[in-house]
Amino acid sequence: MALPTLLSALVLIVTLVGVGAPAALQQKAAGGAAPKAEILYKKHCQVCHVDGSSPVSELNFADGEWTHGSRLNEVVTVIQDGVPETAMTAFKDILTKQEIRALAEYVRGFDKSLKSEKPKKIVKPRG
C-alpha cells in the first residue's frame, strides 16, 4: 500500500472513531465509564426519571431528597433489587454489577449537594 493511501486510511479510521462510530466504540476510545452510564440511563431510567430532575419528587435525583438513601450502596441496592409496590423494577437480571454501580454513581451526580459518600436525609414516602 502506498504511503498516501495508508495515510488516507488512517485519517478515515480516526474520523470514524471520533464521529460516526457506534457509541460503545466511542466510549472505549474515550476510556471513560460516564458515557456508558449515560447511555444506560437514557435506555433504562430516563423514561421515568427524565433528566434527573423529574417533576415528581419521588423520581427526582437533583432535589436533595432521597426516599431510599443517597449513599452509593443504597442507590446500588435500589437499582439492583428495585422497590416493591412501585414502578421501580429490579435490574439485577438485566445489567451487570459494574453497570449497576456506574448507573448509581451517575444518578448520584444529579444531586450537586452530595459529596462522595455523604448521606442525605431519607424522606418518608407521602401517602
**Phi/psi at 122 (5° precision):** -80, 125
Which of 78, 83, 69 lies closest to 117, judged by CA?
69
The CATH-assigned architecture of domain 33-127 is Orthogonal Bundle (1.10)
Task: Kindly report, residue by residue over 19-68, the tens digit of the pLDDT.
Answer: 333 333 333 334 445 679 999 999 999 999 999 999 998 999 999 999 99
Task: Kindly report, residue by residue over 6-19, the tens digit of the pLDDT.
Answer: 334 433 333 333 33
Task: Kindly report, residue by residue over 79-105, the tens digit of the pLDDT.
Answer: 999 999 999 999 999 999 999 999 999
| pLDDT at residue 116 tops 80 | no
Domain ranges of the chain: 1-31, 33-127
List the grid coordinates of 86: 412501585
List the grid coordinates of 44: 433504562
Q: Across 31-121, where does the E strand assignment appear?
A: none
